[in-house]
Copies of this chain bind each other. A is one copy, B any other.
Amino acid sequence: MAKTSRSGVSQLTQWFTTRNILSVGDFKARDLETIFEVADSLEPINLGRTSSDLMKGLVLGTLFFEPSTRTRLSFETAMLRLGGNVINVIGNSSSLEKGESLRDMGRVVSCFADVIAMRHPTAFTVHELSEGSTVPVINAGDGANEHPTQAMLDLYTIRKNQRRLKGLKVGLLGDLKYGRAAHSLIRVLALYGTEFVLISHPSLKLPEELLRELKTLGCNAVETSDLRSAIQDLDVLYVTRVQKERFPNLVDYEQVKNEYRVDLKTLRGARRSLSILHPLPRLDEIASEVDADPRFGCFDQVANGVTIRMALLALVAGRIPKAPKGKKKK
């Protein structure tokens, strides 16, 4: 195995070694910055579509007990481009059916894999698995609870596109009541003194406790149902999918869907530097005519997702790339 020089490894990166990535709440702004700097140094491998030997000899186990093609492929691509290998479990085809505890399963998969990325429809199952595991476990989404790597890639995309994270004005649009991606992003953005504009139909407003949490953290947050006015002075517009199942009837759903749809007309008057983001998959929330607009950043998010997962895999495995020379703190 190629020796990985650790001369450039700071204490901050060492802190990550063998650590689980279960919740964004476990990371301070300084930890997130470490992840982003490692991501920056690995980005050429992802975008240049070259290979690396950084993770050579290591195995990532992706345990996906719920379909999530995008997230699984992102983790697997990250590992493969770093020269590692992948084993996977998809669907319900696992020993879980035979009644094995998640704890035992974590211990067993540790005998195969050096890092585990797990997706499960039930909240906190990934914590259970991690208790048995002897290798780092990354939460790839545990039901209604969290999807921390999504929040990290969203934040990384904002940092890249806006060239800063502090003091941004961020609009969140769509289903703010149930949307897990929006909730996690709000929580990490709160670390940076973000000013929130919460744009939704009255029936899909942000939960009261999360709104209070924001205010406790000193963040400014206004609620509105008027997309056209709200969009004018935003730095970021984060759009989420409104699910049909949330509405009592199809007529209400169609009306809300049309009212909160982002198209070129909606974007009139928005800033030239606006970042339009969406966790994908999208249906009609963003019209396809917007795709060609330079402000449309959804596919950047997908590419950045691979880079962020490269950084996380390298960090938890202790395979930290050499610090690039002359790197400046952002």
Interface residues of A (CB under 8 A from B): 1, 49-51, 56-59, 61, 67, 69-70, 73-74, 76-77, 80-81, 85-87, 89-91, 93-95, 97-101, 103-105, 107-109, 111-114, 280-283, 288, 299, 302-303, 305-306
Contacts and interface: CB of A to CB of B under 8 A. Distances in A.
Contact of A77 (B51, B73, B101, B113): B113
A281 B49 contact: no
Contacts of A302: 107-108, 111-112
Query: Nearest 7 A-B pairs (CB), nearest first?
Result: A51-B57, A100-B281, A67-B93, A111-B302, A80-B85, A77-B112, A69-B94
Contacts of A114: 49
B100 A282 contact: yes
B57 A100 contact: no
A112 B73 contact: yes
B95 A93 contact: no
Given A94-B67, A95-B69, A112 B59 contact: no
A61 B73 CA distance: 9
11 contacts: A1-B51, A59-B80, A73-B87, A77-B112, A81-B85, A86-B87, A98-B283, A104-B280, A104-B281, A108-B299, A112-B306
A73 B89 contact: yes
A112 B73 CA distance: 7
A6 to B, nearest CB: 17
Contacts of A74: 111-112
Contacts of A104: 280-282
Contacts of A288: 101, 103
Contacts of A98: 281, 283
A61 to B, nearest CB: 7
A87 to B, nearest CB: 5
A76 B76 CA distance: 15
A292 to B, nearest CB: 12
A302 B95 CA distance: 14
